[in-house]
Amino acid sequence: MEKILKKILEDNKKFYKDGKVADYIPALGKANIEDCGITIIDKDKNIHSVGDYNKKFTIQSISKIITLMLAIMDKGFEEVFQIVGYEGTERPFNTISYLESEKVKKAINPMLNSGAIAVTSLIKGDGEKKFDRILELVKVLALNSKIDYDREVYKSEKDTGDRNKAIAYLMKSRGIINGDIESTLDSYFKQCSININTIDLANIAFSIANRFEDVDLESHIDKKKLSSLLISIMVHSGMYNFSGEWSAKVGIPSKSGVAGGVLSVVPDKYGIGFFGPSLDENGNSILGYKVIGELSNELDLNIY
């Protein structure tokens, strides 16, 4: 496996030149655009890592999978999907204008910023407690009790997060979300700033692929139903407005983040964590597309 991974990384790492690192959050602009690393965990839980697999980066939008999970565990499937929908969209991740329409009664899906902020608002816990519970779940799924959040990125997210603040308050004014908006936003900015590497990501992906079989979720939730739902959401919204093309060409349910992480789940088989901060215009890792796409061909991982 390592040999295959090394060759795929070697053949594709030059494509970092086709993208650029996210700089709309200043702290993210410091990333090394050439970084590229991957970890894949197989059915027997063997861990295969290559390249910059050990480098830390912030989880960003991949946290939206974790918060969706926690909100469902706290409130149940029905209550969560009363304020977010299931549909994919052509709109970018930070879309806001659709929330103005009187016809709109919920956020489009839980992977857009609007949907993710709505989902975070449902998670139990006042003040700091909300984020503490999110971080705890990340640690449990990643099998790493040392995970923490990056204070510099958090501050940068918060200082430049006016659009997310506008999204949250617009949703409140429309009656889509309730409660303490500042605490929800603070939790959202912190959850995006959680520091991980590709091994952590692959462990999280593997727990979903493995239907949370070995994970104590401290909840009576139907684990299989939960993993199926997360996987289906990744299929149509995980890569934002590129989700359709990703599904057609890569064929592995995945979720991206603007720091360059990609979490990929091959149901009942593999968990994959990727890092490459050079991004395309949709906010997805360019190298992630190339490398995971080739890996999918090489190992015949396309779920369709």
Report the nearest approach of ligand DON to the CB of residue 49 (Å). Answer: 23
Residue 261's DSSP bridge partners are 275
Is 84 a catalytic site residue?
no
How many of the chain's residues bind ligand DON (CB under 6 A)? Answer: 12
With binding defined as CB under 6 A, does residue 88 bind ligand DON? Answer: no
Catalytic residue among 53, 149, 154, 188: 188
Report d(CA 275, CA 172) in Å as an integer.
35
| Residues whose CB is less than 8 angstroms from the CB of residue 44 and which lie 6 or more positions away in sequence, other chains included | none
With binding defined as CB under 6 A, does residue 283 bind ligand DON? Answer: yes
Report the nearest approach of ligand DON to the CB of residue 94 (Å). Answer: 6
Taking CB under 6 A as the criterion, the residue among 60, 241, 264, 296 binding ligand DON is 60
User: By C-alpha distance, which of 294, 245, 210, 303 is closest to 36?
Assistant: 294
Site for ligand DON in 243-282 (CB under 6 A): 256-258
Report d(CA 270, CA 206) in Å as an integer.
6
Name the helix (H) or strand (E) containing 230. Answer: helix 223-237
- What's the token pair of residue 285? 């890792």
Report the nearest approach of ligand DON to the CB of residue 238 (Å). Answer: 10
Taking CB under 6 A as the criterion, the residue among 192, 205, 233, 301 binding ligand DON is 192
With binding defined as CB under 6 A, does residue 285 bind ligand DON? Answer: no
Is 61 a catalytic site residue?
yes
Taking CB under 6 A as the criterion, the residue among 49, 95, 113, 210 binding ligand DON is 113
> b/e string for 207-237 if b means 16 or more Cβ within 10 A?
bbbbbbeeeebeeebebeebbebbbebbbbb
Catalytic residue among 16, 149, 240, 289: 240
Is 188 a catalytic site residue?
yes
DSSP helix/strand/coil, 125:
coil
Report the nearest approach of ligand DON to the CB of residue 100 (Å). Answer: 19
Q: Are the C-beta atoms of 274 and 293 separated by less than 8 Å?
A: no
Q: What residues are labeled active site?
A: 61, 64, 188, 240, 258
Note the residues at the interface with ligand DON (CB under 6 A).
Answer: 60-61, 93-94, 113, 157, 164, 192, 256-258, 283
